[in-house]
Amino acid sequence: MTTQQHGDLVDVLVADHRQVDQAFTDYERGGMSDRQRRDLVDHIITELVRHSLAEEQYLYPAAREILPDGDEIADHEIAEHAEAERLMKELEGLDPADPAFDRLTRELIDDIRHHVADEENDLFPRLRQLCDADQLRDLGAKIAMAKESAPTRPHPAGPDRPPANMLLDPGIGLIDRMRDALSGRSR
């Protein structure tokens, strides 16, 4: 796909936010079997992991470079990712019939909604103001490409900054996709 087909950085990330929020709404609606809840939470985890790692590879380095307080913002956002990843790792090993499954899923939903609000109300408008359209389109294309090879499962001990994450994430992603295929876990 060309850069134009992906949209700019903000468009790509906001579209991801809307898709995962729709999955949150589906979960909150209830009325699903344990299997359906497990499948939906696995889907949410996959999308959040792919999205988070792409942000760590491209969004936060751009924030560090462009914004006067970029280091502080990026460090805060990465810390929120780490907490979400910890919750996702716990959820990954839980049976959906366990009462902790619902509690942790709702905690994850609340944390992610807070994180999204921070990005959309503060970080994204500031980047739109300070970056030119070409920079934003280039970053949007890079985010979309990074998501394609990103891991699909949480790896809390994995690196969260370039260059280590850019070198290791594609290999970890390949292993995760093989695990997903063998276990029947859908993307």
Helix (H) or strand (E) run with residue 38 in it: helix 34-54
pLDDT digits (tens, 9 = 90+) for 32-58: 999 999 999 999 999 999 999 999 999
Percentages helix, strand, coil for the chain (3-state, rounded to 5) are 80, 0, 20
Distance CA 110, CA 18 (A): 15
Query: Percent of the chain scored above 90 by pLDDT?
Result: 74
Bond preceding residue 151 cis, omega within 30 of 0 = no
pLDDT exceeds 80 at position 156: no
pLDDT exceeds 50 at position 61: yes
Q: What is the mean pLDDT of residues 103-111?
A: 98
Cα 156 off chain centre by = 13
What confidence category does residue 171 fall into, taking pLDDT thresholds of 50, 70 and 90?
low
Cα 104 off chain centre by = 17
Q: Residue ranges per domain, the chain?
A: 3-183
